[in-house]
Amino acid sequence: MKRVCVFCGSSSGARPEYAAAAGALGAAIARRGLELVYGGGSVGLMGIAADAALAAGGRVVGVIPRALATKELMHTGLQDLRIVSTMHERKALMVELTDAFVALPGGLGTIEELCEVVTWAQLGIHEKPCAVLNVAGYFDPLLALLDHAVEEGFVRERHRALVLTAASVDDLFEVLDAYRPPGLERVVGLEGA
């Protein structure tokens, strides 16, 4: 593992624990000699994670669509800031650049990004770990929904297991390091998408 992609809010959220976790994760990524890949913003949890990684001597790659570069106040202190045309291009590049995905608390965009990379893992498009850092139980309702989808026959248990969960940064890296791809079948025609 060389790069970790972090999906998180462009807001700091309602609890101070969210900002603390973003800072701890950014710093931990840098201390481990890994690069942080994220959405390229300077605000909210995005900015906190990036600033913490930079302060710890880490390398940070930001990927931001041109249309959001001013709205999200793109981070101008990164070693590598890539401005792309669309949200789809942003996500595809982030997937290409990274070896693991971690979701911190965030809004619709964060949840959508997490669901997309998990779906791509389910389809066999990539075999990278997808985890949530479940700060203050933030993801409990989403995890319960996934369990409900299993019970109702919409998600297979082996696909539900693709969403790794950790309550602390230390636990998160243990989960990521222990991950072994489950050997899911590839969907013909979607390789490399």
| CATH number of the structural domain spanning residue 98 | 3.40.50.450
Q: What is d(CA 102, CA 61) in angstroms, rounded to the nearest whole number?
A: 15
- CA dist 180 → 58, 94, 172 (Å): 26, 21, 14
Q: pTM for the full model?
A: 0.92
The count of structural domains within the chain is 1
Return the SS3 of 32: coil
Closest CA to 162 of 148, 188, 143: 143
Dihedral through CA 39, CA 41, CA 46, CA 50, nearest 10? 90
Any domain includes 48: yes
The model's pLDDT over 26-77, given as tens digits with 9 standing for 90+, comes to: 999 999 999 999 999 999 999 999 999 999 999 999 999 998 887 558 999 9
Position 184 scores a pLDDT of 59
The model's pLDDT over 101-113, given as tens digits with 9 standing for 90+, comes to: 999 999 999 999 9
Which regions of the chain does DSSP assign to beta strands (E)? 3-7, 35-38, 60-65, 80-84, 100-103, 130-133, 163-166
Domain that holds residue 126: 3-177
Any domain includes 115: yes
The model's pLDDT over 117-157, given as tens digits with 9 standing for 90+, comes to: 999 999 999 999 999 999 999 999 999 999 999 999 999 99
Any domain includes 190: no
Any domain includes 149: yes
Any domain includes 15: yes
Any domain includes 192: no
